[in-house]
A and B are shown apart, each in its own frame.
Chain A
Amino acid sequence: MAEKKIILEVQNLTKYFDTPKGKLHAVDGVNFSIEEGKTLGIVGESGCGKSTTGRTLLKLLEPTAGKIIFDGQDITNYRRSQMRKMRTEMQMIFQDPFSSLDPRQSIMQLISEPIKEHKLLNSKAEIEKRTLELMDIVGLARRFVNTYPHELDGGRRQRIGIARALAVNPKLIVCDEPVSALDVSIQAQILNLLKQLQRDMGLTYIFITHDLSVVKYFSDDIAVMYLGQMVEKAPSAEIFSNPTHPYTQALLSAIPIPVVGKEKPPRKLLRGEITSPVNLPDQCRFMKRCDACQECCQNSANPQLREIAPNHFVACHIAK
């Protein structure tokens, strides 16, 4: 077996926001690690803390507690100037390629900006050559080099976002809902592109999405989040064939399957909606919506992840 290198390790990552009503538990003690060249999918519904996790581990937000170890270095307490150097190693792709691109910059300016910013290349000719190269890599025709974002459709704009992230030769890219704003036919183009880039460049991805079908296609491991915590974490195939946490089960069964007239697994509808993440009690956070909830859940503390099968972790009192 080849040697596995852990590129990112996150220990007890916590991010609280102060609100007038109390502490908002956006991310609450998240632990995970990723091997180089792999993809971790983080899945959950609006407000579960998946984007905050992505932003905090890139230190775009200061963590309240916990440790972030990237490529062997503990970056948790890095200052801005130290983080600047790290930015060439870790990049992010955003959901909405329109609001994340400056409308007054041409494609050439947008893609070359990170190269200039980090002084990776100096001569104008080199920068231009590299920009065109990046456009080739992400499949943007060179004739668009002098156009502006508003002249392009969503798929092409997202390709610009990807080119900008790649411009600094990162090792890790956090993809925050990179295809959610795109039509299915374009979605597939972008997903294939991201996958091919991973193969060619050995990139590591953290893939944040609400769409389980997208992560299934994409991820090696999947972590399901609920109210700031990971409730289940397992290899992708395992989580789809053997979902164990009642929330994961409900999430999976809620995906409408585009199949007609053939046997489909029965629906498991969730009651109610996600509760407020402010001032959470030390109890199972899913309890109120859980149909498997038993007395022991109400009398016990918030369950922590435990290994129920090799590499399969679940935070639930009753899951076996």
Chain B
Amino acid sequence: MSEKNLEKTTAAAAEQEKDHILDIKDLVVHFETDEGCVKAINGLNLSVRREKTLGLVGETGAGKTTTALSILNLVPSPPGVIKGGSIVLDGKDVLQMKEKELEHMRGNEVAMIFQDPMTALNPVMTVGEQIAESVMLHENLSQKDAFERAKEMLKMVGIAESRAYDYPHQFSGGMRQRVVIAIALACRPHFLIADEPTTALDVTIQAQVLDLMKELINNNHMSMLLITHDLGVVAEVCDDVAVMYAGRIVEVGTTDEVFNATRHPYTEGLFDSLPNLKEQGEELVPIKGMMPDPMHLPEGCAFAPRCPYATEACNQSVPELRPAGGTHYVACHAYDDPNFRLRRNANG
């Protein structure tokens, strides 16, 4: 984008930002290890609209979890170094906050749910105590009141109050994830980060937990960043979706825009790789090759070596996000040619 254009859009951007609970700009996070510098996040731009759910999709190593940890300023350091950028959460830059402010923010304003519920829970405390602990840490409540709140929270996630006195190992995987959700929501945060919350669960249990999360988010007017590799889960739960590749967003828009008017070749590749869209017997179309090593990223577009549409231009420079109609943005040089269409969109 040229400088002039940038100025013009600044005013509009400020207006837009009010609707956003989270705005990540030009975030760069590297892990400086003995073997070399792992470029996990390389100029990430991402926004979450208020009271909406954004799905962050990508493969292992795309930088999804590092993004989540950055929002809480929890990137392990060393070796992690936040090289630049800003993360504005509810009007305040997380990266400028002091430790005290951060502590207040975590849990009160933002809560996080992790993939594996067993490792997230303390095995030697009853679940009631664990929920109450999180309440007492953030709110000025007596132990008794906090425990009452814990029971309330359990009821909210569909667990009988009497089970507040049970330990994590007495619960099944799906129930444990409900407990984790109860802990996350106990301090009534406005923003929830869920990192693969249902990946470790069976499909029928996943459906239950997703339904519960959707309901709680709606009823409590929360916003959510849902990290997942499963496009089915995105379609089920999210309003918006951002596709991440090698530490950058390559496509972002509403789920309708990204699913029904796919723009980026990588997103197209993800859809083509999914077996459940195919009739039986048809060959799957995998994306050739593998994600580049984040220690040795290619010069230009990181996806170019795997991209069926790549041209010489793709190896020259990293493509910036460009508008693709509505709230839809794509980072791909192919659209320098105004007539470019993905195969997926070619026939109708």
Contact = CB atoms under 8 A, between A and B. Distances in A.
A318 B278 CA distance: 32
Nearest to B236: A256
B140 to A, nearest CB: 37
Contact of A258 (B59, B207, B276): B276
A257 B203 CA distance: 12
B172 A191 contact: no
Nearest to A252: B203
Interface string A42-53: 000110000000
Given A183-B59, A189-B286, A258 B274 contact: yes
Given A260-B235, A260-B255, A254 B207 contact: yes
Contacts of A273: 172, 174-175, 205
Contacts of B315: none
A257 B276 contact: yes
Nearest to A267: B207
B167 interface: no
A235 to B, nearest CB: 10
A210 interface: yes
Contacts of B232: 255-258
Query: What band does the interface of chain A fall in when counting residues whose beta carbon is under 8 Å from B?
Result: 35 or more
Contacts, number: 126
A161 interface: no
Contacts of B139: none
Contacts of A250: 204
B275 A258 contact: no
B276 A191 contact: no
Q: Which of A45, A254, A258 has the most chain B CB atoms inside 10 A of its CB?
A: A258
A213 B274 contact: yes
A260 B203 contact: no
A175 interface: no
A237 interface: yes
A184 B274 contact: yes
A251 B278 contact: no
Contact of B275 (A189, A217, A253, A257): A217
A304 interface: no
B203 to A, nearest CB: 4
Given A261-B260, A269-B207, A185 B273 contact: yes
A270 B204 CA distance: 6
A188 interface: yes
Interface in A108-159: 153-155
A259 interface: yes
B229 to A, nearest CB: 7
Nearest to B174: A273
B286 A45 contact: no
Contacts of A214: 275
B61 to A, nearest CB: 9
Contact of B60 (A183, A251, A255): A183
Given A183-B59, A256-B232, A257-B235, A216 B275 contact: yes
A213 B276 contact: yes
- Kindly list the 6 A-B residue pairs having the minimum CB-CB distance in the complex, ordered from nearest: A213-B276, A256-B232, A188-B286, A258-B231, A188-B273, A45-B202
Interface of B: 59-60, 172-175, 202-208, 210-211, 229-236, 255-256, 259-260, 269-278, 280-287, 290
Interface of A: 45-46, 153-155, 183-189, 191-192, 195, 210-214, 216-218, 236-237, 250-251, 253-261, 267, 269-270, 273-274
28 contacts: A45-B205, A46-B173, A46-B202, A153-B290, A155-B290, A185-B270, A186-B290, A187-B286, A188-B287, A210-B202, A217-B275, A217-B280, A218-B280, A254-B203, A255-B203, A255-B232, A255-B276, A258-B230, A258-B234, A260-B235, A260-B256, A260-B260, A261-B260, A269-B204, A269-B207, A270-B204, A273-B174, A274-B172
